[in-house]
Amino acid sequence: MFNYIIKRLLALIPILIGVAIIVFLIVHLIPGDPAQTMLGERATDQALERLREQMGLNDSLPVQFWRYVKDLLRGDLGRSIMSNNPVSAELMQRFPATLELSFFAIIFAVFVGVPAGIFASMNQNSWFDNLSMLIALIGVSMPIFWLGLMFIWLFAVELGWFPPSSRIGVGLEFTPITNLYVIDSILQFNFTALKNVLHHLVLPAVALGTIPMAIIARMTRSSMLEVLKKDYIRTAYAKGLKRKIVIFKHALKNAMVPIITVVGLQFGVLLGGAVMTETIFSWPGLGKYLVDAIYARDFPIVQGGILFFAGVFVIVNLIVDLSYALVDPRIQYE
């Protein structure tokens, strides 16, 4: 197992280098002058020239690439044009908000999607089965930002149950430590804040988690149906075991591998969805920051942000791969 992890980590290196190259190429090879884009159509030639010089755009591409790689290895992603702070600091400051949102979204998706899928598979072709599969089908066809809008309209505007935006109420006494507000408020025994933070989390997390929930439910159902047809399940029943034990002990364990794959893949989808959800709910995380940076033409932030997201995505996929071994006794890593 340990050797396998090392091998997989080493295999990541070329992928990450490739990712870095692509992000570099996106910014540098596509026609158009970043300096011109940043300063706008009416910029003077002098101003343009100064900015190009400052950004190192006058050097040859290989020289620029080398400098970019050197900076990258030191963790230096450049400075934001909007704030002039280091890009890495700006990203790290906002990442916890995205992490917290994604975590609760995936919790919602798994804890609703998996039981729904199991229940549907146990009662194949029942009204519950048909309904949940219809919801799943609509779920994969639905734009996440529209779902967010509908949630805000229904639960925030009409019913007033949840706040429509931001992470925490204004004027609340609270000092962030890790920027994971749930953890921070628990650490400080500040339960007023905790309640408030959770209250703010519900709508965006459920909105972000709904589409993955639909996909997970669908996958759980088909994976369970597949396993329930196997001979050893019949044997288990024949031995006189209770249905509950057969389903949860015999079937679910073996149906778990495809389910975990889908959960992992959905975590990646969540990261993309976070961009939309955060924009809708004014959630101050990485996704919203990235979109704001695009509007402001803050290229270092855009470049660093995409790189960061891709890095997280790659690592999540690795963790998913490794977790197979934990649930599937047939897989053994050399």
Q: Contact residues for other proteins (CB under 8 A)?
A: 14-16, 18-19, 21-23, 26-27, 30, 32, 37, 137-138, 140-146, 149-150, 152-153, 157, 222, 268-269, 271-273, 275-276, 279-280, 290-291, 294-295, 302, 306, 309-310, 313-314
Contact between 303 and 23 (Cβ < 8 Å): yes
Nearer of residues 246 and 255 to other proteins, judged by Cβ: 255
Range 47-59 burial, b when 16+ CB lie within 10 A, else e: ebeebbeebeeee
Q: How far is the CB of 26 from other proteins (least distance, A)?
A: 5
Looking at the Cβ atoms of 108 and 267, the one nearer to other proteins is 267
- Structure token pair of residue 198: 């959770």
> For other proteins, which is the closer residue by CB, 241 or 265?
265
Closest distance between other proteins and the C-beta of residue 279, in Å? 7
Nearer to other proteins, 144 or 201 (CB): 144
Smaller CB separation from other proteins, 306 or 327: 306
**Rounded CA gap, 130 and 120, in Å?**
8
Residues 6+ apart with CB under 8 A from 316: 264, 267, 268, 271
Least distance CB 281 / other proteins (angstroms): 10
Cβ neighbours, 10 Å, residue 287: 26
Smallest gap from residue 250 Cβ to other proteins (A): 23
Nearest approach, Cβ of residue 38 and other proteins (Å): 12
Q: Please state the φ and ψ torsions of residue 79, each to the nearest 5 degrees.
A: -115, 145
Long-range contacts at 28-33 (CB < 8 A, ≥ 24 apart): 28/61, 28/64, 28/65, 29/61, 33/57
